[in-house]
Chain A
Amino acid sequence: MAGLELLSDQGYRVDGRRAGELRKIQARMGVFAQADGSAYIEQGNTKALAVVYGPHEIRGSRARALPDRALVNCQYSSATFSTGERKRRRHGDRKSCEMGLQLRQTFEAAILTQLHPRSQIDIYVQVLQADGGTYAACVNAATLAVLDAGIPMRDFVCACSAGFVDGTALADLSHVEEAAGGPQLALALLPASGQIALLEMDARLHEDHLERVLEAAAQAARDVHTLLDRVVRQHVREASILLGD
């Protein structure tokens, strides 16, 4: 798009944020009564819903059961109305499969699967509106859903995307910034230890700038963690009030 400045001279982005600022995050846990755990998150205009079933017995072939760990099964689905143009996606297409694999990899590292051998934990994520940072929103929603289901995890898994424009690292990209074609990095972090559960980057970025972008994404993920922590505590407080504690 000609003439679109992703970062103005005064340091403001297209939607008026500063370089390291996140979009407004709102989240709720326990949105579905039927599922073991569920959560809904809104990051700016990106809306994602996550549902967790488990740990339960392995569905399908018993041969897939792992004798010492739980199997984590993740499925990602993007609603047809989620993008600007209505796009009907086949269920098993490559991008959804890849997202599912990445979510599985992220959560297998974070969930204490040794505590539930021979069982299965299902995580289903649905994107209702995609405005950039879909992977991050999915991971954040799934974290809250897993916590809502009471499945023990090593730590929160917080994710955020980051980009690089005009020598500055931007945190939490929106769709406009992603579509502009610059480098995009998605990072899933366990905040307490600083370990990276998943790192993914697209488009060209010079090696010298990598550290700055990584740092921006890590800082943004830590900010997301503070927010998610607050949401969880609020939810627990409400639940305990209802229980009359």
Chain B
Amino acid sequence: MKETPLSNCERRFLLRAIEEKKRLDGRQTYDYRNIRISFGTDYGCCIVELGKTRVLGQVSCELVSPKLNRATEGILFFNLELSQMAAPAFEPGRQSDLLVKLNRLLERCLRNSKCIDTESLCVVAGEKVWQIRVDLHLLNHDGNIIDAASIAAIVALCHFRRPDVSVQGDEVTLYTPEERDPVPLSIHHMPICVSFAFFQQGTYLLVDPNEREECVMDGLLVIAMNKHREICTIQSSGGIMLLKDQVLRCSKIAGVKVAEITELILKALENDQKVRKEGGKFGFAESIANQRITAFKMEKAPIDTSDVEEKAEEIIAEAEPPSEVVSTPVLWTPGTAQIGEGVENSWGDLEDSEKEDDEGGGDEAIILDSIKMDTGVEVSDIGSQDAPIILSDSEEEEMIILEPDKNPKKIRTQTTSAKQEKAPSKKPVKRRKKKRAAN
């Protein structure tokens, strides 16, 4: 399905909001969305939620023969897939540019930075090495796929356990998980990508853009760092022109963010480790709270309400007291009454110029009436005690037209409450569609 283009007013709104340093979800310019990491029952499986963007990561391993020019090193293979459930625009044939970009970025970030010790994956030099395969699937696209994917990849790799292997002379024994505990991979450092979106030719910058912000951005700068403040990858994309000091500033911000995220990851890994050791329940089923169909929840946007009272007081002090409300019902005829007068129809001028002669008996979709009568209860009035009170659930409401009184006032009907009489509607309200109400 082709992507729906963003409307101009939405684009303008987003850009103006960004100029005023406001974001749609209430974040500050350098804030990340909430990151939630949950693990599956198998080692090496995890789901990372960055706001609403969800990525599933799964690591698997296999014994293969090594590459010819790297006989003593294991093989790492990364694959990110944009699943069709992530966004309507992702279709098998249409994704290639984005897919290539994301995959190459992930490969460079994780493989070229040597976060995993590939020499330790060698079993028999030149003959058998471990091939570690990381599969990432994007489950929901709400912006900033690359950050979520990099977190998912590194978490899955840290969580993964490979089967133990021992080599005696020429014999290689592969132990099953029952025989010997599987062994974790040796990971030197954890590179994490941080995305910066640029707007208005590089004047404004946001961290962790969501999907709407990505639609209006000029370009993206991705910096991958680890917690030791080593930059693993920098990639600018989208045709923005950067200046050197912008890049340096971004790298400093990235350093701070990566430290926070790394802490979160370590804590999540530790928690999972603890739960497994204590024999508690773990896995995706446990991480979804009970009585919830999906795990999405709306995060409360923090709003600053500290000055609401002062503002409210000011407004109240300066406002005029409300006018007296006269509540004497006016009896028009037995069985109907009217409380309140209603407000002068402010559509008067408009309707005079648009008055039409078409009476059209047929399709009276009298919207006004349907609004008033949607309660489906016909109640007769307070005025007369003798008339029986008819309560019916019928959807078809009759429109009882009473002869208008001496001065028919133009009334604008207000409410849908059941108690309110239908009397106001009997007035020949000046609406085009109501013309037919002239008996």
Interface residues of A (CB under 8 A from B): 94-95, 97-98, 101-102, 105-106, 108-109, 181, 183, 185, 190, 193-208, 210-211, 214-215, 218
Contact between B239 and A109, CB atoms less than 8 A apart:
yes
Stretch at the interface among B37-45, B229-237, B290-298, B327-335: B229-237
Task: Give complex CA distance A122, B252 in Å.
Answer: 38
Contact between A101 and B97, CB atoms less than 8 A apart:
yes
Query: Within 8 Å of chain A (Cβ to Cβ): is B241?
Result: yes
Contact between B225 and A207, CB atoms less than 8 A apart:
yes
A195 — nearest CB in chain B belongs to which residue?
Answer: B241
Contact of A204 among B103, B230, B238 (CB under 8 A): B230
Q: Give min CB distance, B241 to chain A, whole Å.
A: 4
Contact between B239 and A97, CB atoms less than 8 A apart:
no
Interface residues of B (CB under 8 A from A): 96-97, 100-101, 103-104, 108, 112-114, 189, 221, 225-226, 228-244, 247-248, 251-252, 255
Q: Which residues of B contact A95 (CB under 8 A)?
A: 104
Contact between A202 and B233, CB atoms less than 8 A apart:
yes
| A201-B243 CB under 8 A given contacts A94-B103, A105-B238 | no
Contact between A204 and B113, CB atoms less than 8 A apart:
yes
Contact between B230 and A97, CB atoms less than 8 A apart:
no
Other than the given A200-B236, A202-B112, 7 more pairs (CB < 8 A) read: A101-B100, A195-B243, A196-B241, A202-B113, A203-B114, A203-B232, A204-B189
Contact between B100 and A94, CB atoms less than 8 A apart:
yes
Q: Give min CB distance, B112 to chain A, whole Å.
A: 5
Task: Give complex CA distance A200, B221 in Å.
Answer: 10
Between A and B, 30 residue pairs with Cβ closer than 8 Å are A94-B100, A97-B96, A97-B97, A98-B100, A101-B100, A109-B241, A193-B241, A194-B244, A195-B241, A195-B243, A196-B244, A198-B236, A199-B221, A199-B234, A200-B235, A201-B231, A201-B235, A202-B108, A202-B112, A203-B114, A204-B189, A204-B230, A205-B230, A206-B228, A206-B230, A207-B229, A207-B231, A208-B229, A210-B248, A211-B248
Q: Which residues of A contact B234 (CB under 8 A)?
A: 185, 199-201
Task: Give complex CA distance A190, B244 in Å.
Answer: 12
Task: Give complex CA distance A185, B229 in Å.
Answer: 17
Q: Give min CB distance, A173 to chain B, whole Å.
A: 14
B69 — nearest CB in chain A belongs to which residue?
Answer: A85
> Per DSSP, are chain B's interface residues mostly helix, strand or loop, or mixed?
mixed
Q: Give min CB distance, A186 to chain B, whole Å.
A: 10
Contact between B113 and A203, CB atoms less than 8 A apart:
yes
Q: Which residues of B contact A215 (CB under 8 A)?
A: 244
A207 — nearest CB in chain B belongs to which residue?
Answer: B229
B229 — nearest CB in chain A belongs to which residue?
Answer: A207
Q: Which residues of B contact A97 (CB under 8 A)?
A: 96-97, 100
A199 — nearest CB in chain B belongs to which residue?
Answer: B236
Q: Which residues of B contact A200 (CB under 8 A)?
A: 234-236
Contact between A207 and B97, CB atoms less than 8 A apart:
no
B248 — nearest CB in chain A belongs to which residue?
Answer: A211
Q: Give min CB distance, A170 to chain B, whole Å.
A: 17
Contact between A207 and B230, CB atoms less than 8 A apart:
yes
| A98-B231 CB under 8 A given contacts A204-B114, A207-B225 | no
Q: Which residues of B contact A197 (CB under 8 A)?
A: 239, 241
Task: Give complex CA distance A96, B365 in Å.
Answer: 62
Contact of A196 among B100, B228, B232, B236 (CB under 8 A): B236
Task: Give complex CA distance A94, B231 in Å.
Answer: 23
Q: Give min CB distance, A60 to chain B, whole Å.
A: 14
Contact of A94 among B104, B226, B230 (CB under 8 A): B104
